[in-house]
Amino acid sequence: MSIERMSDFFTFRADGYDNHMLNDVEGCKDGYVKMAELLPQGVVDLLDLGCGTGLELDEIIKSKPSINVTGIDLTEAMLDKLKQKHYDKNISLINANYFDYDFGICKYDAAISFQTMHHFSHEDKIKLYSKIFSALRVAGDYIECDYMVMNQKDEDFYYNENKRIRKEQCIPDGEFYHYDTPCTIDNQIRMLHKAGFKTVHMSWRIEHTTIIVAQK
């Protein structure tokens, strides 16, 4: 098995991405709707990490058409799709690696991510979640919908496979290549607590598509 650079993987699939997520990935179509429902009513400024083509924003904008969104994504081709759909909305799009980008301090009422975090290590996630925590205002929510597993043995299998494949392809540490490494729900909750969030709970799940809500 050969894996691709993260940006290349999504660039090559940008045209068919919406159809794939809505029709082929169990739970995602309902997950977009549920995430919009879980977003607090009073949210004005929203941070969307790995916003892609904006499928989650499609649903959020239905009920909050004037919301201010900062969307960050590694793949310019995906952001171009989002721009085409929501050119007239208050959306600032940033083509960047969200691990490196400065989110600011106490800048957002809420932050979201949808099916983007299941590619990274625990250590990287905790650092990122700490940045999200700092970027949220008092009592701000972080809502993550992602591919998660129930059992530690499943998580261990995917992480070990990723390590093996990267070694075979001589991929240096720190370079983003696409391979799914889902964490258990319990580990996700622990990581968010370690990052500083006071309350963290699983709110919704269909198959492996799972929503966790964390509050500052």
**DSSP string covering the chain, please?**
----BHHHHHHHTTTTHHHHHHHTSTTHHHHHHHHHHHS-TT--EEEEET-TT-HHHHHHHHH-TT-EEEEEES-HHHHHHHHHHSTTSSEEEEES-TTTS---SS-EEEEEEES-STTS-HHHHHHHHHHHHHHEEEEEEEEEEEEEES-HHHHHHHHHHHHHHHHHTTPPTT--B----PEEHHHHHHHHHHTT-SEEEEEEEETTEEEEEEE-
Predicted local confidence at residue 1, as pLDDT: 78
pLDDT tens digits, the chain, 216 residues: what are they? 789 999 999 999 999 999 999 999 999 999 999 999 999 999 999 999 999 999 999 999 999 999 999 999 999 999 999 999 999 999 999 999 999 999 999 999 999 999 999 999 999 999 999 999 999 999 999 999 999 999 999 999 999 999 999 999 999 988 999 999 999 999 999 999 999 999 999 999 999 999 999 999
Name the β-bridge partners of 201.
Answer: 213
Q: Domains in the chain, ordered, with CATH?
A: 6-215 (3.40.50.150)
Predicted local confidence at residue 174, as pLDDT: 86
The model carries a pTM of 0.96
- CA quadruple 178, 32, 48, 158: dihedral sign: negative
